[in-house]
């Protein structure tokens, strides 16, 4: 596909999740260590920290446990982001905590992820926490999953145990509509099948974790049927050189925009044609996600920050009332009838909570009805009314135009994150 050249194919955003002590941080440390993505002074610091903790080995998990409190408690309590690169691709990893009370942290880490790495302990198999995390990954629309069956060294690298866990998880994931699943038997501590192929598991013939991360295709994750660019800035230099220049800058979140294409501006519904597309200091004939560009139009229209430039095909939805899933991130409860600011793309709108349809019991993946408020880390089906029409797409058509955050009017805190979708998961 010619459009693929517009994608930032060398950057993969990864979410890691799993139950406590399943080895997420050790896996990330092993990836960084074996791919030679850490410096000698970092290795020396980790060795010193390991000795102080009384560890009998170099504890690679300390690479992601950046907070002092995390090291003291021996658990990861926040989202730790790590960057590394290989000759084939660049990576950003979000290491999220395993505890159920940190659901909001996982949602934060998943917001831009292309792929989720879920870990299970080979001795314990699929746990309730594994099912919870898989449900959240499905709910958040992450298209690719690697299930790392870790600690294979503690089950004598048993092929039977691996296949049993793989089969159980595959059956479960089908119910949630997981599109792309890859299961890998590993030992993060020993390095088996993380970067280097394991000599202890010759029966496993597929990719190592790093090989899969380097090769997983993400071009089809973008929606090319929609053309969407939220206006972030109106550019008018008012200089002698660019006296009549008027451009609309933003990041393309879906579709392909071409010079000469007819476009529609929302929420006004005005129509015009693309005169030119500027990328840095040059014009280009077309652009797609995730490029940030400046679009110039044939007509001078009243367009401002928060407006949406779209292609004529497949128009967005325009409505004052939306049905959503909301993950609550504030210690101050969400109340039915509560008023908030809704940040959608570059647009800020006042809104009110009309109804909490039900709360999701993350442990059982069931519904809890007759709810009037949400507490920290709760996820619920919520109906929201906005003070002016919201221009959006279903979250599973375009994550950018189908998501939003709720902001407390008084404190200006980010209180919740939402996904607009007609699709129900339970």
Q: Which among 246, 392, 265 is positioned nearest to 323, based on CA atoms?
A: 392
CATH number of the structural domain spanning residue 393: 2.40.30.10
Q: Are residues 29 and 54 in the same domain?
A: yes
- With a CB cutoff of 8 Å and minimum separation 6, the contacts of 36 are none
Let me know if residue 2 belongs to a domain.
no
| Residue 64 sits in the same domain as residue 175 | yes
Tell me, yes or no, whether 62 and 135 share the same domain: yes
Domain ends where: 172, 194, 221? 221
DSSP codes joined into one string, 180-204:
EEEEEE-BTTTTBTTTBPPSS-TT-
Residue 332 forms part of a structural domain? yes
Statement to judge: residues 180 and 327 lie in one domain: no
- Are 248 and 190 part of one and the same domain? no
pTM score, whole prediction: 0.80
CA 94 to chain centre: 9
In the chain, the number of structural domains is: 3
Domain contains 1: no
Whether 95 is in a domain gets the answer yes
Question: Do 25 and 118 belong to one domain?
Answer: yes
According to DSSP, residue 274 is labeled E
Name the residue among 98, 28, 20 with its Cα closest to residue 60: 28
Residue 425, domain member (yes or no)? no
**Which of these three, 221, 249, 265, is where a domain ends?**
221
Q: Which of 246, 275, 249 is nearest to 261 (CA)?
A: 275
Whether 426 is in a domain gets the answer no
CA angle 241, 346, 309 (to 5 degrees): 65
Whether residue 307 is found in the same domain as residue 321: no
> CA-CA distance, 386 to 405, in Å (whole number)?
13
Residue 384 falls within a domain, yes or no? yes
370 and 257 co-located in one domain: no
In a domain, 42, yes or no: yes
Query: Residue 287 in contact with residue 329, Cβ under 8 Å?
Result: no
Reduced to 3 states (helix: H, G, I; strand: E, B; else coil), residue 233 is strand
113-150 burial string, b = 16+ CB within 10 Å, else e? bbbbbbbbbbeeebeebbbbbbbbbbbbbbbbbbbbbb
In this structure, the answer to whether residues 77 and 214 fall within a common structural domain is yes
What are the counts of helices (DSSP H) followed by strands (DSSP E) for the chain? 7, 25
Look up the CATH number of the domain holding residue 20.
Answer: 3.40.50.300
- Could you tell me the mean pLDDT of each successive run of 10 residues in the chain, 426 residues long? 44 86 80 70 60 59 49 49 86 75 73 90 91 87 94 97 96 86 95 94 96 89 91 85 85 95 96 95 91 94 94 94 94 95 93 96 87 92 96 93 94 92 86
Looking at the fold, whether 193 and 248 belong to one and the same domain comes out as no
**178 lies in the same domain as 295:** no
Which of 188, 221, 254 is a domain's end point? 221
Q: What pLDDT does residue 51 have?
A: 62
Q: Which structural domain range is residue 272 located in?
A: 228-311
- The b-or-e profile of 383-395 (16+ CB within 10 A means b, else e) is ebbbeeebbbbbb
- Candidates 329, 383, 387; CA nearest to 357 is 383
190 and 64 within one domain: yes
């Amino acid at each position: 596909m010619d459009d693929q050249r517009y994608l930032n194919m060398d950057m993969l955003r990864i979410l890691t999740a799993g139950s406590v002590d399943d080895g997420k941080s050790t896996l990330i440390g092993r990836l960084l260590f074996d791919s030679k993505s850490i410096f000698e002074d970092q290795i020396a610091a980790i060795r010193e920290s390991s000795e102080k903790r009384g560890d009998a080995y170099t504890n690679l998990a300390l690479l992601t446990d950046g907070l002092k409190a995390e090291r003291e408690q021996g658990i990861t309590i926040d989202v730790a982001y790590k960057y590394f690169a290989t000759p084939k691709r660049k990576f950003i990893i979000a290491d999220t905590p395993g505890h159920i009370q940190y659901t909001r942290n996982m949602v934060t880490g998943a917001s831009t992820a292309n792929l989720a790495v879920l870990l299970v302990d080979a001795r314990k198999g699929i746990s309730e926490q594994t099912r919870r995390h898989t449900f959240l990954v499905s709910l958040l629309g992450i298209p690719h999953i690697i299930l790392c069956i870790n600690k294979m060294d503690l089950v004598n690298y048993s092929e039977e145990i691996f296949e049993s866990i793989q089969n159980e998880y595959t059956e479960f994931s089908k119910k949630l509509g997981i599109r792309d699943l890859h299961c890998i038997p590993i030992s993060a501590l020993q390095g088996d099948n993380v970067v280097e192929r394991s000599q202890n598991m010759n029966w496993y013939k597929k990719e190592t974790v790093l090989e899969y991360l380097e090769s997983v295709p993400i071009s089809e994750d973008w929606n090319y049927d929609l053309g969407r660019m939220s206006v972030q800035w109106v550019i008018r230099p008012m200089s002698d050189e660019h006296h009549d220049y008027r451009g609309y800058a933003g990041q393309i979140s879906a579709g392909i925009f071409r010079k000469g294409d007819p476009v529609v501006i929302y929420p006004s519904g005005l129509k015009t044609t693309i005169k030119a597309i500027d990328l840095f200091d040059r014009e280009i004939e077309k652009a797609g996600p995730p490029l940030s560009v400046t679009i110039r139009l044939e007509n001078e229209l009243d367009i401002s920050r928060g407006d949406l430039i779209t292609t004529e095909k497949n128009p967005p939805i325009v409505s004052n009332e939306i049905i959503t899933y909301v993950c609550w991130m504030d210690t101050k409860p969400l109340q039915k009838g509560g008023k908030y600011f809704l940040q959608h793309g570059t647009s800020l709108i006042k809104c009110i909570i009309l109804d909490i349809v039900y709360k999701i019991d993350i442990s059982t993946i069931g519904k809890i009805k007759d709810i009037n408020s949400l507490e920290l880390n709760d996820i619920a089906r919520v109906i929201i009314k906005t003070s002016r029409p919201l221009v959006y797409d279903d979250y599973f058509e375009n994550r950018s135009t189908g998501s939003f955050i709720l902001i407390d009017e008084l404190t200006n805190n980010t209180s919740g994150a939402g996904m607009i979708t007609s699709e129900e998961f339970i």
